[in-house]
Amino acid sequence: MAPTLNIIGAGKVGRVLGRLLAAHGAVTLQDVLARTHASAADGVAFIGTGRAVDRIDGMRPAQVWMLAVGDDQIGPVCEQLAGLIEPGAIVFHCSGAQSSSALGAATRAGALAASVHPVRSFADPAQVAASFSGTFCGIEGEAGALAVLSVAFGAIGARLVPIDAAAKTVYHAASVFAANYLVTVLDCALRAYQGAGISEEVARQLAAPLAGEALANVFRLGPDAALTGPIARGDMATVARQQDALDAWDGQTGDLYRALAQATAQLAARGKN
């Protein structure tokens, strides 16, 4: 039989994973707890099964507990949970920044700890749920926990990637670079186009093929071969003029350009070796 699952945290990640795990028969979902009963009820409605509860001590015993809460809440919630879990139960969280060691209270209570971090943007939960198959998930933790979780997440199409728990923060920073900071850089590009008198709509149209082709080349050829532009050509006079212009236009954008130029110069040098 599928293991029983309780979920603490009914946000986007908890809802998506709860829906998928339950729909594929990977678990038998029992109780869902959130900051408010209304949020838990909304989560249960999205998932399609389970029972919304008001308090952690109102949750039934379960074989698996998923903590889909904010990073700063993992430890405190685990402390509250420690008195409820049974020895041998599995407790895992979904954070990319925290390692399974954040679940120390559960481990001391006899549980098996792990973490499973889906490498996706959950801005649109329904869309992620519909297209989750093939999603990479960084996993680490105790072998007994990972054995059970690997079967459950394999059932929903996850591609599991073991990671070094000691390097979890660096691993998560990689995802921040690939997603969050990429958005920030593109925002600078769009604002700079607009600073040259181009409308926002047209600026997006200008940037889209450049950004799309650059990304495609990085993943097809690798960063060294994908790099183009003045630094790759060794045209540092152009870089200097751009730096001066950006410093005069918007100091914060100029600072970012300066930092990126230094990193890009190192990338260009690496590609020539």
| Annotated domain spans of the chain | 4-163, 170-272
pLDDT band at 151; cut points 50, 70, 90: very high
Residue type, position 86, single letter = E
Q: Which of 168-182, 237-251, 259-273 has maximum average pLDDT?
A: 237-251
Mean pLDDT of 258-268: 97
Q: CA 128 to CA 83: how far, in whole Å? A: 34
| Nearest-angstrom CA–CA distance, 150 and 169 | 22
> Is the domain 170-272 a CATH 3.60.21.10 member?
no
Res 111 pLDDT > 90: yes
The per-residue pLDDT for 118 is 96
Q: Is 273 exposed, middle or buried (0-12, 13-18, 19+ CB in 10 A)?
A: exposed
> How far is 215 from 209, CA to CA, in rounded Å?
10
Whether the Cβ atoms of residue 95 and residue 75 lie closer than 8 Å to each other: no
pTM for the full predicted model = 0.83
Whether pLDDT at 137 is above 90: yes
Which homologous superfamily is 4-163 in?
Answer: NAD(P)-binding Rossmann-like Domain (3.40.50.720)
Tens-digit pLDDT profile for residues 199-255: 999 999 999 999 999 999 999 999 999 999 999 999 999 999 999 999 999 999 999
Amino acid, single-letter form, for residue 50: G
Query: How much is the mean pLDDT over the chain?
Result: 96
Q: Please report which confidence band the pLDDT of residue 77 belongs to, taking 50, 70 and 90 as the band edges.
A: very high
